[in-house]
Structure 1
Amino acid sequence: MRLILTTTLVMTAFAANSVLNRAAVGGGQIGSMDFAALRLVSGAAVLALLATWRSGTAWLAGFRAVNIGALATYVIGFSLAYVALPAGAGALILFATVQVTMFGGAVLTRDAIPARRWIGAVAALAGLAWMLLPGSGGVAAGPGVLMVIAGIGWGVYSLRGGAGGGPLHTTTASFVGAVPIGLAAWLLAGPAPFTGTGAALAIVSGAVTSGLGYALWYAVLPALGATRAALSQLTVPVIAVLGGAALLAEPVSLRLVLSCAIVIGGVAFGLAPSRARA
């Protein structure tokens, strides 16, 4: 039960990132690279203070180039894509890509994947695909591709799990290491005007729903495993759709509601223990 509650909290934080980014960048409150850079800086600052307070400089041993590169790829692609994507659609593309990436990683490492987990994954992906079929509101190709790139980055970052030390140390080192990449992208794009609201949304996304949320994510990853972690993240688009509708007035159709139900059903089936059949 504790694992379920913690995972639910993390998925909610992930969905909040989509809503915060869309509200700030899509709403013209801040530029995409300004948001990405501020998100990384604020997340790194909070995590470094917390990790140093808890264990001194031990987190400095957590730097891993793959972790840093994957996190930076995700954050930058995520912000660029949300210039045009709705919160729910962006989360859909992101975590569908994460699903494929993490299942691919599980296959490459020869993890045991029960048949019901495959069935649950296919059902959940079918529900996600139905969301974006013609007639439900298509997305622009450019932002869609950028979100796919972000999804690959997040998938690799998740597959890395605790590589580099404990969850807090690994997440702190990854954020601190990604800051120079984020600042370089910000300089290349050129600073854009932003409002206090846009900056505040970026800081909340970086310090709370990203920094602390990702540290908690790395803490539960070992217990979940690659395929269950991938399936769990398919609930994020559903939460993001609800958040986008409630906070950003994004439309919700019957088709969207039904596809969300299919996603939840697929995840529930795939994550249920085999003994539940009895």
Structure 2
Amino acid sequence: MKTILYTIIALVAFAGNSVLCRYALKGDAIDASSFTSIRLLSGAVFLIALVMLKNKGAFNFKGGSWSSAFYLFVYMVTFSYAYITLDTGIGALILFGAVQMTMVIFSIVKGKKLQLIEWIGLIIAFAGLALLLLPSGSAPSLMGFVLMAISGIAWGGYTLAGKGAKNPLIATSNNFLKTAPFVIALFLFTFDSTTISNDGVILAIVSGALTSGLGYAIWYAALEGLKVTQVRGFTINCAYYCFLWWCYFHQ
């Protein structure tokens, strides 16, 4: 039950990121690069403070990995730029579909035999992404679709890299911290197009500290249990994806 609860909380947090990011970029409160940079840095600060508070001022800098940090950065930067052209619901559909397909395809490549519920999840994800690409008045922009699909693949990579994390909170904190060089490079590359407002900064901080930093720590905590309750994990994922589709067709 703890694993299921952690999984649901993490998925809700990730969906909240879509709302916060789209709201910030749609209202021109902040540019995509600044939103990503503040989101990552605030997530790192929040998580490090949380670890130090828990460990009486001590922090272990040996957790996490550079590969996980790279996946995390790619996920966030493509996520932000995708939402310049995508609506919240469509972006979430593409993201979760790409994540699910990445995870299942990785399992197939590794020689794992999928169970029925896993095949159903893969079919739902593939059908959803294919349907979005059909010509229609509500079809997303191709660039937005590609960027969000890359974001989903990166999140899938981050998830796979984090399955062996012994301490989810330490690992997540160090992963966020290790994105600092990528953030600096992004900021320098996009400095001339920077747009920042108080509202935009607040939205980015909330997204970074709570729905991203804390959300990813909870997600890493759920991964260990999902090894044992894999079928239930995929069931939750399928149900959540179906719920997103219901919201999309009733918005």
- The TM-score range, normalised by the shorter chain, is 0.7 to 0.9
| 1:138-177 matched pairs, under 5 angstroms | 138-177=139-178
Q: Which residue of 2 aligns with 1:8?
A: 8
Q: Does 1:63 align with 2:43?
A: no
Task: Give the letter for the 1:219 counterpart.
Answer: A
Q: CA deviation at 1:152?
A: 1.3
- 1:113/1:88 CA distance change after superposition, 3 Å: same
Structure 1: runs of 5 or more not aligned: 243-251, 261-278
Q: 1:54 to 1:35 in 2, by over 3 A?
A: same
Is the counterpart of residue 180 in structure 1 residue 197 in structure 2? no
Tell me: CA distance 1:156–1:217, structure 2 relative to 1, closer, same or farther (3 Å): same
Q: 1:40 to 1:133 in 2, by over 3 A?
A: same
TM-score if structure 2 supplies the norm length? 0.87
Cα RMSD between the aligned structures? 2.5
User: SS at 1:28's partner residue?
Assistant: coil
How many matched pairs? Answer: 246
Aligned partner (choices 200, 222, 227) of residue 198 of structure 1: 200
Whole-Å Cα distance in 2 between the matches of residues 186 and 201 of structure 1? 18
Instruction: Flag structure 2 segments of 5+ consecutive residues without an equivalent.
Output: none
For residues 37-66 of structure 1, the C-alpha deviation after alignment (integer angstroms, 9 at most, x for no partner) is 000010000001111222354531113111
- Cα gap change, 1:156 to 1:112, in 2 (>3 Å): same
State the AA in 1 paired with 2:155: W
SS class of match (2:28): coil
User: What does residue 222 of structure 1 align with?
Assistant: 224
In the superposition, relative to structure 1, how do residues 96 and 227 fare at CA in structure 2: closer, same or farther (>3 Å)?
farther
25-34 vs 101-110, which moves further: 101-110
Give SS of 2:60's match.
helix
| Alpha-carbon distance in 1 for matches of 2:244, 2:51 | 30
Q: In 1, are the aligned partners of 2:93 and 2:128 still within 8 Å (CA)?
A: no
**TM-score, with structure 1 as normaliser:** 0.79
Residues 6/156 of structure 1: CA separation in 2 closer, same or farther (3 Å cut): same
Which residue of structure 2 aligns with residue 266 of structure 1?
none
2:100 aligns with 99
Q: Does 1:53 align with 2:53?
A: yes
Residue identity opposite 1:208 in structure 2: L
Question: What is residue 20 of structure 1 aligned with on the other side?
Answer: 20
Q: Hey, what's the Cα distance between the residues in 1 that align with 2:105 and 2:231? A: 9
